[in-house]
């Protein structure tokens, strides 16, 4: 086949054949299709879309570009969760051990943060000794011993996606829903889980800003899962304000431990339990109530075993930033707006995130929210505390909060519901 023919087919709004898709993914992975040619094809897909059949085949071709994991040796069903990312989204941390405590196995492959959205691996790496890299045999060992594992994807998992993702990032084609969906689902299906729950974020702090675009992405991903024999459901959840009170690596680990200990912010607890129930139902364990595993301490037990199994010390002190700065309420009234994007950018500029994949992060940096939208506040009351290792970072972080905070006398916040919709 010829790359030009494939590009022209999609440029003219045509449907790619299975043979064209198989060939172009394989050839691009091998280097036989040039970067500029795949860039043109990605732009044509962005502009003209793909049918469900095309997306399913594209995903399958990316899966076949590498290894596929399988967990048939486990004595329990597998189930996993994927979030499209947001501000303060630490749900994976309490969720994986919670679901494992209820009888499922959770093989969770996670990533690192980029820009204003945090990464699960960065958060866990703030725990002294914890390691993200495990070989497949190591993953299986941790799963057998603890029921849950959270680690980085190996280089052999969907290498076509890794190469295409990097290309999309520099060619203005990140927003293509077929390419987003196939990127996420190729890795999750290759991971070998039997069931999958998707948490698709909606709002200013999310990649998908509107409910309509989030629903389109969710429906596309659910369709891919179903077409590949993976029980898949998606929830659309709010990201117009930060999730929980803590935004930053070690800060979010501490808040996750609070949830596992039976406390924590109500929204984090609610979403953790909601996703846990979906994961257990998808795994055929709907008779288990995850709230019981929080109350009786069994979820915390799994957390401690899981962290220890990956070299971490669950009792070690977490990193603390050297400097802090308090942001106070400008007036008395109701906090009507605490914009997720503004808070996320502030945390990023404080050192909690990275601009490039190779950049380091500060584990202690971030933001703690002392009030949430709907709270009554007094003039001068602390609203946020900013943490950084270098106090020169505060000025830029404060710039990102300009317009992100609104306090109105007698005001009412206009917020999305925490769980907006369910797609199955």
Confidence at 166, pLDDT banded by 50, 70, 90? confident
Beta strands in 244-388 (DSSP E): 246-247, 323-328, 333-338, 366-369, 376-377, 382-388
The DSSP annotation for 84-132 comes to: ---SS--THHHHHHHHHHTT-BEEEEE---BTTB--HHHHHTTSTT---
Of 39, 40, 126, 183, catalytic:
183
CA–CA gap between residue 298 and residue 408 (Å, rounded)? 43
Question: What's the mean pLDDT in 243-258?
Answer: 98
Q: Is the dihedral of CA 324, 83, 301, 270 positive or negative?
A: positive
Out of 81, 82, 228, 288, the active site residue is: 82
For 73-114, how does the pLDDT look when each residue is reduced to its tens digit (9 = 90+)?
899 999 999 999 999 999 999 999 999 999 999 999 998 887
Selection from 339, 346, 330 nearest residue 387 by Cα: 346
327 touches 386 (CB < 8 A): yes
pLDDT band at 116 (very low <50, low <70, confident <90, very high): confident
Q: What is the mean pLDDT of residues 101-130?
A: 93
Residues 250-279: b if buried by 16+ CB within 10 A, e if exposed: bbbbbbbbbbbeeebbebbbebbbbbbbbb
Q: For residue 355, what pLDDT band results from cuts at 50, 70 and 90?
A: confident
Indicate the DSSP class of residue 133. Answer: -
- The phi, psi pair for 175, rounded to 5°, reads -75, -5
Number of Cβ within a 10 Å radius of residue 47: 12
**Integer CA distances (angstroms), 27 to 1, 3, 19, 51, 61, in order:** 10, 9, 12, 22, 11
Handedness of CA 184, 185, 187, 192 (dihedral sign): positive
- Could you give the CA distance from residue 208 to residue 86 in angstroms, rounded to a whole number? 10
Interior/surface letters 325-335, b for 16+ CB within 10 angstroms, e for the rest: bebebeeebbb
Contact (Cβ atoms closer than 8 angstroms) between residue 61 and residue 6: no
Averaged pLDDT, 163-176: 89
Contacts of 30 (CB under 8 A, 6+ apart): none
C-alpha–C-alpha distance, residues 154 and 156, integer Å:
5
Instruction: Find the mean pLDDT for residues 359-373.
Output: 96
Judged by average pLDDT, the poorest of 172-176, 362-366, 367-371, 412-416 is 172-176
pLDDT at residue 204, as a whole number: 97
Q: Which of 90, 123, 168, 354 is catalytic?
A: 168
- Lowest mean pLDDT, pick from 10-19, 162-171, 376-385: 162-171
> Is 15 considered catalytic here?
no
CB–CB of 244/255 below 8 Å? yes
Q: Grade residue 214 by pLDDT with cuts at 50, 70 and 90.
A: very high
pLDDT at 115: 76
Name which of 186, 206, 182, 193 is nearest 139 in CA terms.
Answer: 193
Query: Does 145 qualify as catalytic in the annotation?
Result: no
pLDDT of residue 128 exceeding 90: yes
* H/E segment holding residue 150: strand 148-152
Helices (H), 317-393: 340-347
419-423 and 231-238 beta bridge pairing: antiparallel
Higher pLDDT, 172 or 273: 273
Query: Which candidate in 116, 187, 354, 393 is catalytic?
Result: 187
Torsion (CA) 287, 268, 307, 194 in degrees, nearest 10: 40
Q: Which of 59, 56, 40 is nearest to 48 (CA)?
A: 40
pLDDT score recorded for residue 263: 97
Cβ partners under 8 Å of residue 38, min gap 6 = 3, 24, 28, 164, 167
Of the residues 80, 89, 122, 161, only one is catalytic, namely: 161
pTM for this entry: 0.95
Helix (H) or strand (E) holding 274: helix 266-282
User: What number is the average pLDDT over the span 14-34?
Assistant: 97
Task: Pick the closest to residue 210 from 222, 220, 200, 219 (CA basis).
Answer: 200
Q: Give me the domains of the chain, ranges plus CATH numbers.
A: 3-49 (1.20.970.10), 80-309 (3.40.1030.10), 323-408 (3.90.1170.30)
Question: Is residue 183 annotated as a catalytic residue, yes or no?
Answer: yes
- Establish whether 82 is a catalytic residue: yes
Has 301 been annotated as catalytic?
A: no
Cβ–Cβ < 8 Å for 348, 419: no
259 touches 76 (CB < 8 A): no
């Amino acid at each position: 086949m010829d790359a030009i023919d494939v590009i022209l087919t999609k440029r003219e709004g045509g449907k790619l054949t299975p043979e064209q898709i198989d060939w172009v993914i394989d050839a691009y992975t091998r280097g036989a299709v040039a970067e500029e040619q795949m860039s043109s094809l990605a732009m044509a897909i962005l502009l003209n879309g793909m049918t469900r059949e095309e997306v399913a085949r594209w995903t399958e071709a990316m899966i076949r570009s590498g290894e596929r994991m399988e967990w048939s040796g486990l004595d329990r069903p597998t189930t996993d969760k994927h979030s499209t990312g947001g501000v303060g989204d630490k749900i994976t941390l309490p969720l994986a051990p919670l679901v494992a405590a209820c009888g499922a196995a959770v093989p969770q492959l996670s990533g690192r943060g980029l820009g204003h959205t945090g990464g699960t691996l960065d958060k866990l790496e703030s725990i002294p000794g914890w390691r993200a890299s495990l070989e497949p045999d190591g993953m299986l060992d941790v799963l057998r011993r603890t029921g849950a594992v959270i680690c980085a994807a190996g280089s052999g998992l969907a290498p076509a996606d890794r190469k295409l993702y990097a290309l999309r990032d520099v060619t203005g084609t990140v927003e293509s829903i077929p390419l987003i969906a196939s990127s996420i689902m190729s890795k999750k299906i290759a991971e070998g889980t039997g069931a999958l729950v998707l948490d698709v974020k909606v709002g200013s702090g999310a990649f998908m800003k509107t409910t309509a675009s989030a629903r389109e992405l969710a429906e596309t991903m659910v369709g891919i899962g179903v077409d590949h024999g993976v029980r898949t459901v998606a929830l659309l959840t709010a990201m117009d304000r930060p999730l929980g009170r803590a935004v930053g690596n070690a800060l979010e680990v501490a808040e996750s431990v609070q949830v596992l200990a039976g406390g924590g912010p109500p929204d984090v607890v609610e979403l953790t339990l909601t996703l846990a129930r979906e994961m257990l139902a998808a795994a055929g364990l709907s008779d288990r109530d995850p709230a019981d595993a929080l109350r009786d301490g069994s979820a915390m037990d799994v957390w401690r075993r899981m962290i220890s199994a990956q070299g971490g010390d669950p009792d070690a002190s977490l990193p603390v930033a050297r400097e802090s700065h308090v942001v106070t309420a400008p007036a008395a009234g109701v906090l009507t707006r605490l914009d997720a994007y503004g808070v996320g950018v502030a945390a990023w500029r404080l050192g909690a995130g990275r601009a490039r994949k190779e950049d380091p992060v500060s584990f202690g940096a971030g933001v703690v929210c002392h009030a949430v939208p709907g709270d009554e506040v007094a003039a001068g009351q602390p609203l946020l505390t900013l943490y950084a290792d270098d106090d020169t970072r505060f000025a830029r972080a404060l710039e990102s909060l300009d317009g992100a905070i609104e306090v109105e006398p007698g005001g009412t916040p206009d917020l999305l519901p925490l769980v907006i919709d369910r797609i199955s």
